[in-house]
A = this chain, B = another copy of it.
Amino acid sequence: MQVISKKKGRQSVVFTEPPMVFSSASIVGDVEAKGPLGSRFDLILDDDTWGEKSWEKAESKMFERSVRLAAEKSKIDLNEIDCLLGGDLLNQIISASYAARTLKIPYFGLYGACSTMTESLLISGMLIDGGFREMAACTASSHFSTAERQYRFPLELGNQIPPTSQRTVTGAGCVIIGNANKCKDGFLFKSIRITAGTIGRIVDLGITDASNMGAAMAPAAADTISAHLQDMNRTVDDYDLIVTGDLGKFGSEMLFDLCKEKNVDISGKHADCGCLIYTADQDVNCGGSGCGCSAVTLASYYLERIENANYDRILFLATGALMSPSSSLQGESIPGIAHAVVMERSCCI
């Protein structure tokens, strides 16, 4: 038997039996709940330790509960989910691993920093369209308090932050996708398919300022958008919207310029989860960041917008900055990456 090629160009893939989105769930902190999407999130934590002894344990609980909640919302039994793919920003992705321990689902840990949500969706999509798995939970989480003390300073110090910085979203988002044959009445979504995707390459323009993630990630987003359009032989007009993960205000502006240099004008078609999740008066400088940012925005907002026919086809790219505090101290610049998935509305089965 010949393997049917689903490779498209250098970096992209197209699905022949596009996996469907079945369910989603989002859990966020109180700051995120005060933002424009506040009413759309499934669960809001008043206390960001969620009754646990540490923020790290709370983040892992968020990761785990987002999977359980996404399953519950579509009456999916956890045993039907035959793969869990995800990660977070913590050293050794402990939020994901400890959650996977409790969930007991076959598990692949991923590290793509803030790009984790689309890394997970893209790999899961391939495993499902390839016939290897039937249903996968794609999950990512981040937590303001765990990220601050790991990447920057103890919160107790009350350090000032520069104007280019972004606030790490306290949030976990889960999206359950699967083979269309598994679609059932009562599922939360019945009209969204992942039809294609583009695997990101690392792009690094030499940004060394770890408080300017947007600038570090924008070149990778521009590279992936450009590669996607070329591989797929499409233009920006083929999309209702191009959504980036968490470039924030500064990074989004940089993205427009970098795309224009490649003769791609996305300015009228672009949205960024990092710009969307907080209001201007929330004192978050350039917007939101963290694995959870694009995960909860997709899970709570964009999927519903596609299902309700506000959009027919979007290109969704979570973007990641892949440095560590050690690499920054050792004078390394910040490598960025962005993986893209195409989400389309198509008639339900």
A contact set with B: CB distance below 8 Å: 1-7, 10-11, 13, 16-17, 53-54, 56-57, 82-83, 87, 90-94, 97-98, 100-101, 104-113, 119, 123, 126-134, 150, 179, 181, 199-204, 322-327, 330, 332, 335, 337, 339
Q: Which B residue sits closest to A116, measured CB to CB?
A: B109
**Which residues of chain B are near A2, meaning CB under 8 Å?**
17
Q: Give the shortest distance, in Å, between A39 (CB) and chain B (any CB).
A: 34
A296→B113 CA distance, assembly (Å): 27
Check if B322 sits within 8 Å of A179, measured CB to CB. no
**Which residues of chain B are near A199, meaning CB under 8 Å?**
83, 106-108
Q: Give the shortest distance, in Å, between A53 (CB) and chain B (any CB).
A: 7
Beyond A87-B111, A107-B201, A324-B90, whether A129 also contacts B3 by CB under 8 A is yes
A196→B346 CA distance, assembly (Å): 34
Which residue of the partner chain, among B87, B107, B130, B330, contacts A6 with CB atoms under 8 Å? B130
**Which residues of chain B are near A109, meaning CB under 8 Å?**
110-112, 119, 322, 337
Check if B201 sits within 8 Å of A330, measured CB to CB. no
**Which residues of chain B are near A90, meaning CB under 8 Å?**
324, 326
Check if A17 sits within 8 Å of B4, measured CB to CB. no
Check if A101 sits within 8 Å of B202, measured CB to CB. yes
Which residue of the partner chain, among B53, B108, B203, B332, contacts A119 with CB atoms under 8 Å? B108
Q: Give the shortest distance, in Å, between A64 (CB) and chain B (any CB).
A: 12
A25→B246 CA distance, assembly (Å): 37
**Which residues of chain B are near A16, meaning CB under 8 Å?**
1
Question: What 4 A-B pairs are tightest by C-beta distance, nearest first?
Answer: A130-B130, A92-B324, A106-B199, A97-B322
Beyond A56-B327, A131-B3, whether A97 also contacts B202 by CB under 8 A is yes
A3→B127 CA distance, assembly (Å): 11
Check if B132 sits within 8 Å of A7, measured CB to CB. yes
Q: Which B residue sits closest to A122, measured CB to CB?
A: B108
